Amino acid sequence: MTGNRLSRTTLAGLDPAGSPVRLPAVDPADVTVGLVHLGLGAFHRAHQAVFTEDAAAATGENGWGILGVTQRSARVVEQLAPQDGLYGVLTKGTDETSLRLVGSLRDVAFPGTDTARVLTTMAAPTTHVVTLTVTEKGYRRGADGGPDLTDPDLATDLGALAVEVRGGRADAPARSPLGLLLRGLAARERADAGPLTVVCCDNLANNGAVLAALVGAALDAVPDGARLREWIDASVRFPGTMVDRIVPATADAHRAEAAALLGLTDAGLVVGEPFTQWVIEDDFAGPRPAWECAGATLTSDVAPYERAKLRVLNASHSTLAYLGALRGHATIAQAVADPDLAAAVRALVDEDVLPTLIAPDGMDLARYRDDVLARFANPNTGHTTVQVAMDGSQKLSPRLLGTVRDRLAEGAAPTAAALTVAAWIAYVRATTQGELVVDGRRIALDDPLAPALAAAAAGPLDTLADRMLDVGAVFGDDLPDSAAFRSAVRAAVASLVTARV
């Protein structure tokens, strides 16, 4: 990219009157950090950071700046630090495009080099909230849903934590989000900095309770962790949330479009659809941004919203991703425009998902389904099937297998949901055999369990479904024992791998 780059200095030179771009709603110079975010991907920048900025602008509170912490690489820090944390959100609707700059990200850090600074900020009395978007796989859960203590990164972090809870100093950089969070909690307890709220914003079923349980179980593995556990029980809350906005990977075409609007280049640009929603359980240990002033819903019971979103939106998304990629559709919009695939998604929602849901207050679930499908049809986000298809081993359970379990418990055969499972199996097979080409590009399987999945997928086609259903990390101990489920998946796999839908 060439030309001047977005930063506080170049921002000052923009003419708000003549600009088609919405300038930050807060003056970055006035904002101090009160919130630490783990997982500084595109989703956070297009979602919680925007809500947080709007809440600060609505209330005039200037203590809710964000320290954004990347997960695995320093790349995002390299994109955002030279821009003083400023970046744009390019909103692509079906008929309109707009660009707004966000000023709430006040600092960025990479644990590989900045762990001490992150821990100090988590332990500051001015910090009250930690939010997380580290994706499903970021939690490093084992087959039983608890923390995978054999994960080398988590094990290293728990080793450092064991030193820190004894009052020692571990200089090792944090390597896993859960480890970083625990070390931050330990630092805060030691600093006696007051209560903290940890807000999980990932697409896990019961995300708040799941994160609280992971923290507790990881701490069980740490000798001398009892005092920290007591403090967490007394002073830390883990509210559940439902987060929603379609945020595709930023493409060069998006960067060029934003640069033309802004007159500056922006290496931190993110893209999103116009729709955005955040439902948060109102269970905070201390102060929080007034997110309700920015359109978020604060509620005592987030579960019906979260369940409806995971089971309708995310399950449909995965269905379109796998079936769509298998048919060579590059984008979700192309997949949902394919009448066979639209019919498959409707069958999934109507036959298997809706019978398992209770509508949240004021919500019409059939209308919700239609709205979701209309959002998927937006051709301008460019959201790819392959992006949504990644990490299937981590995503199937929260978005689909709860539906399967509930249907089986009612004595129903979840035939439509079995097609999604079969589509994932066919996708794993095709990608691990080097047989899948989308948009002229050969697609490899992108999944943390890829080696195990490739091994299960290799071999005769007539037993493919059975080998895959025996992957316990995905299907648990119970689903492989269900004859109804097994026969539905076998039939659906047979229809896909021979006829390709």
Tokens of 157: 């972090």
Q: Which of 212, 246, 280, 308 binds ligand CS2 (CB under 6 A)?
A: 246
Q: Does 307 bind ligand CS2 (CB under 6 A)?
A: no
Q: Does 388 bind ligand CS2 (CB under 6 A)?
A: yes
When the beta carbons of 314 and 356 are compared against ligand CS2, the nearer one is 314
Helix (H) or strand (E) holding 42: helix 42-46
To ligand CS2, the closest distance from the beta carbon of 245 in angstroms equals 5
Q: Report the amino acid identity of residue 458.
A: A
To ligand CS2, the closest distance from the beta carbon of 371 in angstroms equals 13
Q: Please name the residue ranges forming H helices in 108-251.
A: 111-122, 135-138, 152-165, 177-191, 207-220, 226-235
Tokens of 75: 């790349």
Q: Which of 237, 288, 395, 490 binds ligand CS2 (CB under 6 A)?
A: 395
Q: Of 32, 344, 362, 361, whose CA–CA distance to 353 is shortest?
A: 344
Dist CA 427 CA 438 (whole Å):
12
Q: Does 203 bind ligand CS2 (CB under 6 A)?
A: yes
When the beta carbons of 275 and 284 are compared against ligand CS2, the nearer one is 275
CB 174 within 8 A of CB 218: no
To ligand CS2, the closest distance from the beta carbon of 455 in angstroms equals 24
Q: Does 53 bind ligand CS2 (CB under 6 A)?
A: no
- DSSP one-letter string for 265-284: B-TT-EEE-S--EEEEE---
CB 431 within 8 A of CB 443: yes
To ligand CS2, the closest distance from the beta carbon of 162 in angstroms equals 35
Stretch that binds ligand CS2, among 155-163, 222-230, 244-252, 347-355 (CB under 6 A): 244-252
To ligand CS2, the closest distance from the beta carbon of 126 in angstroms equals 31
Output the residue with the shortest Cβ distance to ligand CS2: 317
Site string for ligand CS2, 317-336 (x = CB under 6 A): x-------------------
Crossing angle of helices 415-432 and 315-326, rounded to 10°? 50
When the beta carbons of 104 and 385 are compared against ligand CS2, the nearer one is 385
Dist CA 164 CA 177 (whole Å):
17
Q: Does 79 bind ligand CS2 (CB under 6 A)?
A: no
Tokens of 114: 């900045």
Stretch that binds ligand CS2, among 120-128, 139-147, 185-193, 241-249 (CB under 6 A): 241-249
When the beta carbons of 201 and 218 are compared against ligand CS2, the nearer one is 201
When the beta carbons of 237 and 317 are compared against ligand CS2, the nearer one is 317
Q: Of 216, 214, 419, whose CA–CA distance to 315 is shortest?
A: 419
Q: Pairing mode, if any, of strands 236-237 and 196-200?
A: parallel
Site string for ligand CS2, 403-442 (x = CB under 6 A): ----------------------------------------
Q: Which of 148, 151, 189, 244 binds ligand CS2 (CB under 6 A)?
A: 244
To 5 degrees, how large is the angle CA 337–CA 342–CA 344? 150
Q: Taking the mean position of all CA atoms in its chain, how far away is CA 404?
A: 22
To ligand CS2, the closest distance from the beta carbon of 277 in angstroms equals 8
Tokens of 289: 């941004």
SS3 assignment, position 61: coil
Q: Does 273 bind ligand CS2 (CB under 6 A)?
A: no
Among positive and negative, which fits the CA dihedral 411, 413, 418, 419? negative
Q: Does 314 bind ligand CS2 (CB under 6 A)?
A: yes
Stretch that binds ligand CS2, among 142-150, 211-219, 242-250, 458-466 (CB under 6 A): 242-250
Q: Which residues bind ligand CS2 (CB under 6 A)?
A: 203, 244-246, 314, 317, 387-388, 395
